[in-house]
Amino acid sequence: MGAIVYYLCLPLIYAVSLLPFWALYGLSDILCFFIYRVFGYRTAVVRTNLKNSFPEKSDAEIKVIMNKFYTYFCDLTLETLKTLTISPASLLKHVKMENEEVFRKYYDQQKSVIIVMGHFGNWELAGARFSSETLHTLIVIYHPLTNKYFDKLVYHMRTRLGNKLYAMNDVLRGMLRDRDKITATAFIADQTPQPKGAYWTTFLHQDTPVFNGTAKIARKLNYPVIYTSVWRPRRGLYVVKNEVLIENPASLTEEEISEAHTRRLEQDIIKQPELWLWTHRRWKHKKPTTDDRP
């Protein structure tokens, strides 16, 4: 059954991917009308997340953010399909890279780095754009899909321009195996871990669990941590900004590292909230109480 669904969808996926950007956004507007206005896809989740994250905003202000978010969300979906066929020249036009000297500094020192980012902007286009740089080899952490056909397609999409992947359960082993290479391993650190064993902090006014794997690995390997954000000044243009967040992770605790990248992402979300993935059930877990602990 998985193969049938895959081969039925594949021509449509490639047809969308081959559209020029102006046609892609026209299709996105149609998709947005149905996803948001007709079917109300996860609107209750998005509204609740926004109201809890921005308690100071009025209902009218929340509605403005929702309208902008759903436009971005549909663009993000179709732009991600675009990475299946987009050319390096087109990536250079639509995704600008700033502060490349951050990577040059460590490349010249023959140092690998860790990139930490959130589901903010188009991380897929940003990853594809990174492949045009001639410094560190980008390695992206991913969750293998259950459907082996779609998993192979996503793998191809993310590696066709030269990037590499680590499966989620093989990250540390992979990084240790590749210690002789100059790499930039990208952690998208705002996913939802299981509540027990996570680092808990306040994020957007709410108790929030944070994966501590990023901090553990950064300390163990002592790779500099670079924070990357993907801004969208206008439709069809993204700007990738990079900054050194932590020069020497071994000198900090895991909690300090987790707190640093969480606070940095929070700042970006506050500045341009429509670019974060509000459909995600980020706060589905409650902070364990003393009685819940083993």
Over pLDDT 90: what percentage of the chain?
88
- Across the chain, which distance is largest between two alpha carbons, in Å? 57
| Architecture per CATH, 2-282 | 3-Layer(aba) Sandwich (3.40)
Asked if residue 283 lies in contact with residue 224, where contact means CB atoms within 8 angstroms, the answer is no
Asked if residue 94 lies in contact with residue 237, where contact means CB atoms within 8 angstroms, the answer is yes
CA 173 to chain centre: 22
Q: Rounded CA gap, 5 and 8, in Å?
A: 5
Identify the pLDDT of residue 16: 97
pLDDT digits (tens, 9 = 90+) for 126-171: 999 998 888 999 999 988 899 999 999 999 999 999 999 999 889 9
- Contacts of residue 22, defined as CB under 8 A and 6 or more positions apart, other chains included, come to none
Q: Give 100 or 175, the one with higher predicted confidence.
A: 175
Question: Helix crossing, 148-159 with 2-17: angle to 10°?
Answer: 30
The predicted model gives 175-196 an average pLDDT of: 93
Asked if residue 257 lies in contact with residue 264, where contact means CB atoms within 8 angstroms, the answer is no
Task: Give domain limits for the chain.
Answer: 2-282
Residue 218: pLDDT above 60?
yes
Identify the pLDDT of residue 292: 55
* Residue 26 binned pLDDT confidence (cut-offs 50, 70, 90): very high
Of 111, 121, 167, 169, the residue nearest 141 (C-alpha): 167
pLDDT digits (tens, 9 = 90+) for 38-87: 999 999 999 999 999 999 999 999 999 999 999 999 999 999 999 999 99
Identify the pLDDT of residue 290: 60
Tokens 């540390």 locate to 172
Helices in the chain by DSSP H: which ranges?
2-17, 21-32, 43-53, 59-82, 88-94, 101-108, 123-130, 148-159, 171-177, 213-221, 254-271
Residue 245: pLDDT above 60?
yes
The predicted model gives 239-246 an average pLDDT of: 97
pLDDT digits (tens, 9 = 90+) for 269-291: 999 999 999 999 999 988 887 65
Work out whether strand 95-97 and strand 237-246 pair parallel, antiparallel, or are unpaired: parallel
Work out whether strand 183-188 and strand 137-142 pair parallel, antiparallel, or are unpaired: parallel
Structure tokens at 48: 């609740």
Residue 293: pLDDT above 70?
no
Q: What is the DSSP letter of 276?
A: B
The whole-chain average pLDDT of the chain stands at 94
